[in-house]
Structures are given as C-alpha cells and as structure tokens.
Structure 1
Amino acid sequence: MAGREDRVARLADAAVELLAEGGMRALTHRAVDARAGVPTGTTSAYLRTRAALIEAVVQRLADLDRADLAVRDLPTGASPPEPGPPLDAEDLDRLATGVGALLDRWLTTGRTRSLARYACLLEAVHRPELRPVLAHGTGLRVQARDLLARAGAADPRRQGDQLVAFVDGLLFDRLVGAGTLSAPASGTPESRADLTAAVRALLRAFTGR
C-alpha cells in the first residue's frame, strides 16, 4: 500500500506542476507520465480517469496544506474536542505572525502549489464534491470559530468563516498580481510584515484585542 501511495503522490506532484504552468488544459495522463518521468500509461494505471486524476491532485494539495499548517502550529482542520483556554492579545499577535509567514511561503516556495489549487478551485465550480477538501474544508472554519470565541469575538461563527475567506483572499490577491503594485515583494521581511498586519487588523476588529 505504501508503494502505491508513494507513486500516486509522485504523479500528483507532477500534475500540480502542470496545472501551475498551463491550467486544466495542460493536465493529461500522458503529460503527467512525461513530467513524472515514468513509462507511458503509468498514470492511467493508477488513476484511470481524468476525474480520478483531479481528485488525487486535490487530495495531495490538501495533505500538503495540512502539513504546513501543522508545522506552523496553526489550525489544522481537526475539530477540537473541547474549547481551549482564552486567548489574549499576545496569542493573537503570534497567530497573525504565523499566518503572515505561511501566506508568504505559499506566494514563494509554495507558489506552484497555490496556482494549482486555484486551477482546481475553478474546476470545483462544476464539481462541488471537490470544494470541502480543496477549500480547506469545514474543519479549518471550525478552528477559526473556536479561536475567535476564545478571544472574545462577538459572533465567532460568522467571523470565523470571514477570517478564513479573508486569508484566502489575501493569498489570491497577491498571487494573481492584483495587489503587487503597492504590496512589498513576496519573500521579504516586508511582505511577511504586511501580511501579518492585515491579518492582525482583522483579528483586532473582530475581538477588540
């Protein structure tokens, strides 16, 4: 089983590169074979249909995102068994700093993955079953709601959803270039500070802290 999982992950990583470079039109079984450096027919043997290939990519993107979130001590999408301790202003500062650093990484070393994710999100418009996995699912929203409740937000359920949407919007804005004329260059301390400030401002507006 581990061998199959490793091979599918390798194929999915090759597919991610193709999606980032050429969008959905670039994603074919033969193209994935070539990019992964495997014999022709390998991708179709493991992922028989185009739908299966896309689903494998979506799952791979979600798995990698969760790994990043876990490493940076950010919400991972697993519902907490019970509310955690109250959060103070310093906790929210650390949260904003972590989110800012993560976003900057997804704009630089993780840019290929981010581009592929948005290509798949467009596909998910026509395939709703992909959305919960690709858009970080409901779990991350649950975590955001929990964090805001612990920080004293007035409406943590609604504001938690808005926080996730805001962070995703920041990433998209910088990724497609809409905000790059005025924003610092990605991969710099200034970029991380700017992203952190944006997230912190929203947390402050929600919590008064």
Structure 2
Amino acid sequence: MSARTARVALLADAAVRLLAAGGMRALTHRAVDAAAGVPPGTTSAYLRTRQALIEAVVQRLADLDRADLADHDLPTAPTGPAPALGPDGLDHLAAGVADVLDRWLTAGRDRTLARYACLLEATHRPELRPILHHGSGLRIQARELLSRAGAADPHRQGDQFVAFVDGLLFDRLVGAGTLSAPPPGTPASRADLRAAVRTLLRAFTGA
C-alpha cells in the first residue's frame, strides 16, 4: 500500500466513524482532520471536495466488505463456470452470509451505519448515485451463486436475495428486529440469521 493510499484509508476510516455517530451533517473536512488526528487541512489536501470525500468513504466500505466476504469463504467476484451448489453448499452459503451479517452488526456496525448514511444522501443528491455502484457487484455474485444452486430465475432472484439480506441487516440494526432478535455477536444471533437466509435459499432453489 502506497503512502497516499494509506493516508486516504486513514481519513476514510475517520469519516466512517463520523458518519456512524452523526450522519452526513457531521461529515466535514475539518471534522475528519480532528477525528483522524492529522493536521488541519490534511483532508482537503487529499480529498479536495465533499464528493471526493464521500467517494473515498464508499470505496473504503467496498474494500472492507470484500475483505469480510473473503474471510468467510464467500465469493467476492464472479468465477465463471463452477460446480453446482447442492444442499450442503447452500447450508455453507447461509452460514457464511449469517456470519458476515453478524459481523456487520457488531465489529462492522459503524461501517453499516455509514453506508446507510451515504445511501440516504444519494436519494437527495442523484449525482452521488454513480459512486455507490459497488453494490451491483454483490448482485452479480448473488445471481451467479443462485444459478449454480439451480434457481429458476437467478437474475431476478439474485437481486431479491440481496434486497432481503440488506433488509434483514437494516431491521437488526435500527428496526423492530433490535427488540425481538437475539443480541448481535452471539451464537443465537448467527443461528437466527442463518435460518432466515437458508429459508430464502430453499424457496428460491427448492432444496
């Protein structure tokens, strides 16, 4: 990692913490300088505009998400022809997705809140939508996996799978699920998430 890349990552991580704590209104170049512990003007020197700052945050979130998927042995990119996924493969997939979701509710909670803050900002500022395109990669991966699992309509169902998983995450983070679901970071939480994901996979594939 180059010195510039490392510094931008440091600034982006500080921006993520600010977004998680106070939303978009908390995100300023001066606030990032203070949160990152760098001299005033550093963030402006590396990321001159607010849009450049948001782009750096989104890229950092995408990089960390990919690392989490790789750590849990989940595909991070389409792999072309691959063996079909049987019931054991679907169970492994459900368990992996559940582990990642539970991580995003605990150690990665700030990142999840920051991502939602960026998405909400894009509903008011359409020019930001192109920089949030990294979510399309998850849809491509989901379509490929469901195709291997024998889903009837993997393109449509892949998109639905991502929407379901994202909704499950949101519900556990800020919705009614915060009251009724097992506490994040516990075996019960991972088991509950795994059961939910596995139920959807069964519905899509008939497994």
Q: TM-score, normalised by structure 1?
A: 0.94
* 1:128 CA drift (Å): 1.7
Partner residue, 2:57: 57
What amino acid is the match of 1:128? R
Decide whether the 8 Å contact of 1:75 with 1:140 is kept in 2. no
1 CA distance for matches of 2:51 and 2:100? 30
* 1:178 CA drift (Å): 2.1
What amino acid is the match of 2:130? E
* 1:40 CA drift (Å): 0.4
Match of 1:204 among 178, 202, 207: 202
Partner residue, 2:84: 86
Deviations 1:148-188 (A, max 9, x none): 11111111111111111111111111111321222111111
How many residues get paired? 204
* 1:19 CA drift (Å): 0.3
What amino acid is the match of 1:79? P
1 CA distance for matches of 2:16 and 2:167? 21
* 1:124 CA drift (Å): 2.1
List gaps (5 residues or longer) in structure 1. Answer: none
Partner residue, 1:115: 113
Asked if 1:145 is matched to 2:143, the reply is yes
Asked if 1:129 is matched to 2:130, the reply is yes
The 5 A counterparts of 1:161-180 are 161-180=159-178
* 1:75 CA drift (Å): 2.5
Partner residue, 1:39: 39
Partner SS for 1:74: coil
* 1:102 CA drift (Å): 0.7
Partner residue, 2:193: 195
Partner residue, 1:75: 75
* 1:144 CA drift (Å): 1.1
* 1:11 CA drift (Å): 0.4
Partner residue, 1:4: 4
1 CA distance for matches of 2:130 and 2:171? 25
Partner SS for 1:203: helix
Q: Sequence identity of aligned pairs in percent?
A: 75
* 1:123 CA drift (Å): 1.6
* 1:41 CA drift (Å): 0.4
Q: TM-score, normalised by structure 2?
A: 0.95
What amino acid is the match of 2:68? D
